[in-house]
Amino acid sequence: GGEGKVSGAVIGALIIGVLQTGLVILNIDPLWQFIVVGVVIIVAVLVNQAQTALERLRANV
């Protein structure tokens, strides 16, 4: 199962929405829009995983 709060999901959705709107306003090609949004999501997941790993390491020390 997943972890998280509704507020975190709402903030994430707002960030993605603002990012997509900005890319449209800048007239970025739709392919690149998908790539940029995908990279942002992947980076967010990696940062979250790194934070979780650090918390576990600190708890075991």
Please report whether residue 40 resides in a domain. Answer: yes
**Under a CB-based contact definition with an 8 Å cutoff, are residues 24 and 3 in contact?**
no
- In tens, the pLDDT along 25-53 reads 999 999 999 999 999 999 999 999 999 99
pTM: 0.81
Contacts of 28 (CB under 8 A, 6+ apart): 36
Alpha helices in the chain (DSSP H): 6-25, 30-60
Please report whether residue 1 resides in a domain. Answer: no
Number of domains present in the structure of the chain: 1
Please report whether residue 31 resides in a domain. Answer: yes
**Under a CB-based contact definition with an 8 Å cutoff, are residues 36 and 16 in contact?**
no
Structural domain of residue 12, as residue ranges? 6-60
Tokens describing residue 16: 């993605």
